[in-house]
Chain A
Amino acid sequence: MMGIAAGCTGDLSALEPAGPSAASIARLWWVMLIVSLLIFSLVIGLFLATVFVPGFGRRISAQSWIGGGGIALPLPILFVLTLYAFWQGEHLLRGGGSLSPDTIRIEALATRWNWQFAYLDLPGAPLTHGTLHIPAGRTVEIAVTSEDVIHSLWIPRLGGKIDAVPGHTTFLRLRADTPGRYAGQCSEYCGTGHAGMRFEVLAHAPEDYPTALDYQEDQ
């Protein structure tokens, strides 16, 4: 399974991270997968052993079985996991690094069935539809809202998703490590056009970014 998962291609794969947030979550996934495989093997192994090996575990008292497997086994794992997840969540909320004052601010407006992006740090830059321009190597803060129903903004290779809720503004901080093209899509069911509500992310080299949208305008 790891082979299939690791060997995958596709520009929406959360397992092919291209930014610190997605990388951090992908790492968490692999760790959780390994721990889960161990726990799974243990429980199923014990089940098969107790059913098919006569006398297996009979000398262990019922209290020890339950206390050991039901309490002593999960509690420390869950404790470490939730603590780590809290730290990681805080880390991701900062965009997967330390929060710098030169964060690029972008507004995303979801409508049925399109994404519109406005660039607050590029005065005079046009709105773009269906394409989000960001500089590589810089943290981008996207303020997300919706004009109609609930949508969700998701760029799997850069990080987790955030919902676009009408009447609310939500924030997502992301960073792309290198210039390139990344795919994004709506991930909350929003009506018949949901499947086609995709967009692309163009990460430009930082020096090209200020002029990237001028070029767009020329087109």
Chain B
Amino acid sequence: MIEEDMKNPSPVALHKAFERVWGTPPGLARLAAVNHNIIGKRFMLTALVFFAIGGLLAMLIRTQLASSESAFMDAEQYAQVFTMHGSIMMFLFAIPFFEGVAIYLLPKLLGTRDLAFPRLTAYGYWCYLFGGSMLIAALIGGVAPNSGWFMYPPLSSNSYSPGINADVWLLAITFVEISALAAAIEIMVTVLKLRAAGMSLDKMPIFAWYMLVVAAMMLVGFPPLIIGSVLLELERAFDLPFFDPGRGGDPLLWQHLFWLFGHPEVYIIFLPAAGAISTILPVFAGAPLAGYRLIVAALVAMAFLSFGLWVHHMYAVGIPHVALSFFSAASALVAVPTGIQIFAWLATLSQGRPRFSVPMLHILGFMFTFVIGGLTGVMLAIVPFDWQAHDTHFVVAHLHYVLVGGFVFPMLAAAYYWLPHLSGRQPVQHLSQAAFWMLFIGFNVTFFMMHLTGLRGMPRRIFEYPVESGWETLNFISSMGSFVMTMGFALVALDFILLFRFGRRFRRNPWRAGTLEWAMATPPPSYNFASLPSIERRADLLDPDQLGSQLASGKGYLGVPRQARMELLAVEMLSGTPEHVVRLPRRTFLPLWTAAATGCFFLSLLFKLYWLTPITFASIILLFLLWSGDTAEKTDVGSLPVGRGRKLPPHIEMARPPSWWAMIFALAADATAYVSLLFGCLFLWVSAPNWPPQQVPHVESTGPAIAAIALVTAAWAGRSAAARSPHAVGWLALTGIAHLVAAATLIWLATAALPDPRSHALASSVFVVLAYAALRSGLGIIISGYGIWRIRSGYVSQRRSVDLRLGRLWHDFSAIAGLTAAGFPFVMASLACELSR
């Protein structure tokens, strides 16, 4: 019906038609929103609220330290305040904020209408909001985490942190990390598959490259932290001694897992900000970004290097010096890809005719601050110097120079640059300059002093210091600076409010940029583009003005809303040739309910209501299964006209639709988690005291053999099912039964056949590895059952077989991982015997 009216549509008619399909009405329906415009803004706004809370805590810290022997807070209050300041700024501000920026901007920069999995975006947001609120509630209730934001055991173990403070951290942060992993998968698939026609990888806007690398790093970086948190929570809740040196555990295991995440995290935070600079700076330089390919190479190099230098947080724990030197060299080497980016920006400026504007002012702030942070970073990478500076205020100074310099200033530049896009209004210039200078001066006064305070011997995290220490003047100056900085932030906030109230409206592309996000109306409509662009040039050298009016009048792809479906174009990954049509799911409350169930799951663990845990877990699974109905089709569609005389098949009839790639990336994250668990266990064997245990487990080979056979059967039957789609009910039943046998055997092995997991870290390692494999098989049962249900409902045909092929991936992976798990007891037992010889 709509199609018929749309033979020669006016832009206004088109807009109305699209808004009916893509828009989110006001009222309760907002809670069901899945649109990236809404969720992206929500992420950013929520992150700013957390930033304000974290900033308030920073003010408390500076008030406490302004004078020696201050009576403002006691040691316990101070511990909660500094722990929460760090945790909030890292996990609830920095990461979610750039996720929000990416969620809002990426589809626009790539020339598409939404992210690949809108409901997952919404689910991630709710997880973030609920998890973050758990932390804030604990802070208000006076039971906030108090062992420092890196939560070193044994301080964070039961013996020394008996309350729920540490549990709040471990569970709430893991809850929030779900949103990070969801965003990582989402960003990777979106960047790789949902680009404008013709946008080959080497024509992507540079920001997309940055986010692709960041998402890949998140996918590999977060699992070790999640594994570490699970292990520490298992120790706290069930007394499995992973970190207890008395029973073969090792506190250093936590440090390795934490920093294996924690160091890449710094680059995960910096790179999106650098990506914003690489996008903004060329616009003001009036020249294309110099060294596009070199920058991409530098990004990839940085990503690899960043996983090889976590030990530079651990120079003082007694690791052999030769090993330290390797990590020291790797840490110093990071200066090279950083330098490449900085000099690429200088080269860009030198090739153009730079204009100076408020975003550029913040880029100047970034340069000044970040270069100092980078230089002190190289100093700290040098082992002997770190032995002195480690855990002093020098490090506090360094990390704030890197994070405020490398994240906050670029994000402010980005805010001044993109707020006109988000609001449709241009900044009111008067306040912006004053706000910047207050921030800049306040920041440097605060943190520059801390280099000296640290070198003069002031450790981190002390709540009072004696008058004789000679630190009082420096601390007082820092505190004064921090109040100036706070006023700067208040002015920035006021400036933004003024922009929304009084900013001048503009027609299009106020900065004369060359990227696709300006080829749309501002503020952007829910569907971004009335028709999707096709490009021939690199996507930051386009002409948005001309392109924008073409697209608005429906001259691109998918310029007609069809059957009230949200559609966008998927491309071949490398070349950007249009490949298929992705039909997105509609607005739904399911993400909210699922996140609420997930929240109950974490609350049941927090309050030790373990009878509730399986119920909440089952309801999460059930709710996720309900997600699947929306995009399913009962008939083969074949191909759909997409405009410009082309026809493409829908995604559910493709061999590798976005969901297939998402499964690959999810399994990659799972594999990373599993491998870091295995390495953790081997690390205990190498490093922990009190090995071998008195009782080395003797394992009969029958149980593991049964599990192995069952797992191989599951994988084989899963493959057969996928190959015979849709006539696969029998094969899927076999898959499910095989998984059931595997899960039951693994659980039996873990609980009954082996020594008590509480007795020694060896037993607990084996227990967790087996339980992990059993969990995977348990999900395998559900996935097989889901396949049967989908076939019975008529959603599967020979062409529409993606459900079964996703299952096949899962069964394959759980077989490979499960086989190593089944063999793991033997490995650990023989390694332990090796020690006792």
Residues of A within 8 A of B (CB): 1, 4-5, 8-15, 22, 24-25, 28-29, 32, 36, 39-40, 43-44, 46-47, 50-52, 54, 56-58, 60, 62-63, 65-66, 68-71, 73-75, 78, 81-82, 85-86, 88-90, 92-93, 112, 148-150, 152, 154, 156, 159-163, 165-171, 183, 185-195
Contact = CB atoms under 8 A, between A and B. Distances in A.
Interface stretch (B104-112, B456-464, B708-716, B826-834): B456-464
Contacts of A186: 459
A66 B291 contact: yes
B428 interface: no
Given A148-B159, A168-B689, A195-B465, 11 more contacts: A32-B385, A51-B356, A51-B364, A62-B347, A65-B346, A74-B339, A160-B387, A162-B318, A167-B246, A168-B250, A195-B75
Closest 3 CB pairs of A and B: A160-B387, A167-B245, A12-B457
Q: Which bracket fits the contact residues of B?
A: 35 or more
Interface of B: 74-76, 79, 147-148, 152, 154-155, 159-160, 245-246, 250-252, 290-291, 294, 298, 316-318, 321, 324-325, 328-329, 332-333, 335-337, 339-344, 346-351, 353-354, 356, 360, 364, 367-368, 371-372, 375-376, 378-379, 382-392, 448, 452, 455-465, 468-471, 688-690
B324 A89 contact: yes
A49 to B, nearest CB: 8
A13 B470 CA distance: 9
Contacts, number: 264
25 contacts: A5-B452, A9-B470, A10-B456, A11-B468, A12-B469, A60-B347, A62-B348, A65-B346, A66-B344, A70-B339, A78-B335, A78-B378, A82-B328, A89-B321, A89-B384, A92-B387, A112-B160, A148-B160, A149-B155, A160-B316, A161-B387, A167-B688, A189-B155, A189-B391, A192-B74
A85 B349 CA distance: 36
Contacts of B371: 39-40, 43-44
- Among A57, A90, A166, find the residue whose CB has the most chain B CB atoms closer than 10 A: A166
The secondary structure that dominates the B interface is: helix
A40 B375 contact: yes
Given A44-B368, A47-B349, A150-B152, A5 B455 contact: yes
A195 B376 CA distance: 25
B155 A13 contact: no
Contact of B452 (A4, A60, A150): A4
Contacts of A148: 154, 159-160
Contacts of A163: 316-318
B391 A152 contact: yes
A13 B468 CA distance: 12
- Among A75, A93, A160, find the residue whose CB has the most chain B CB atoms closer than 10 A: A160
A65 B252 CA distance: 43
Contact of A71 (B325, B340, B351, B389): B340
A193 B368 contact: no
Contact of B340 (A5, A70, A183): A70
Contacts of A75: 336
Contacts of A156: 388, 457
Contacts of A32: 378-379, 382, 385
Nearest to A69: B343
Nearest to B154: A149
A65 B343 contact: yes
Given A62-B344, A75-B336, A167-B250, A8 B456 contact: yes
A70 B344 contact: yes
Contact of A86 (B251, B316, B325, B350): B325
A168 to B, nearest CB: 6
Contact of B291 (A12, A62, A165): A62
Contact of B387 (A11, A25, A193): A25
Contact of B317 (A70, A149, A170): A170
Contacts of A190: 155
Contacts of B459: 154, 185-187, 194
A186 B391 CA distance: 10
Contacts of A154: 459
B442 to A, nearest CB: 18
Contacts of A60: 347, 350
Nearest to A153: B316
Given A14-B455, A40-B375, A47-B367, A161 B390 contact: yes
A191 B245 CA distance: 19
A74 B377 CA distance: 13
A170 B356 CA distance: 54
Given A32-B385, A78-B333, A168-B245, A194 B461 contact: yes
B298 to A, nearest CB: 8
Nearest to B332: A78
Given A148-B154, A162-B316, A28 B385 contact: yes
Contacts of B251: 150, 165-167
A144 B354 CA distance: 57
Nearest to A54: B353
A40 B375 CA distance: 8
- Among B318, B335, B391, B457, find the residue whose CB has the most chain A CB atoms closer than 10 A: B457
A14 to B, nearest CB: 5
Nearest to A9: B470
B75 A193 contact: yes
Contacts of A8: 452, 456, 470
A150 B456 contact: no
Contacts of B294: 66, 70
B155 A65 contact: no
Nearest to A93: B321
Nearest to A70: B340
Nearest to A170: B318
A89 B388 CA distance: 12
Nearest to A42: B371
B378 A58 contact: no
A4 to B, nearest CB: 6
A10 B346 contact: no
Contact of A82 (B325, B368, B387): B325
A168 B318 contact: yes
A11 to B, nearest CB: 8
A171 B319 CA distance: 10
- Among A62, A71, A93, find the residue whose CB has the most chain B CB atoms closer than 10 A: A62
A75 B343 CA distance: 14
A16 to B, nearest CB: 9
B46 to A, nearest CB: 29
Contact of B346 (A50, A81, A194): A50
Given A51-B356, A165-B317, A160 B384 contact: yes
Contacts of A166: 154, 245, 251
Contacts of A56: 350
Nearest to B452: A5
Contacts of A169: 318
A94 B266 CA distance: 34
A170 B687 CA distance: 13
B350 A22 contact: no
B312 to A, nearest CB: 12
Contacts of A63: 291
A46 B367 CA distance: 11
B582 to A, nearest CB: 37
Contacts of A168: 245, 250, 252, 317-318, 689
Contacts of B347: 57, 60, 62, 65-66
B680 to A, nearest CB: 16
- Among B159, B250, B317, B458, find the residue whose CB has the most chain A CB atoms closer than 10 A: B317
Contacts of A46: 346
A142 B135 CA distance: 41
A191 B155 contact: yes
Contacts of B245: 166-168
Nearest to A195: B462
B160 A69 contact: no
B378 to A, nearest CB: 7
Nearest to A167: B245
B385 A58 contact: no
- Among A1, A36, A39, A66, find the residue whose CB has the most chain B CB atoms closer than 10 A: A66
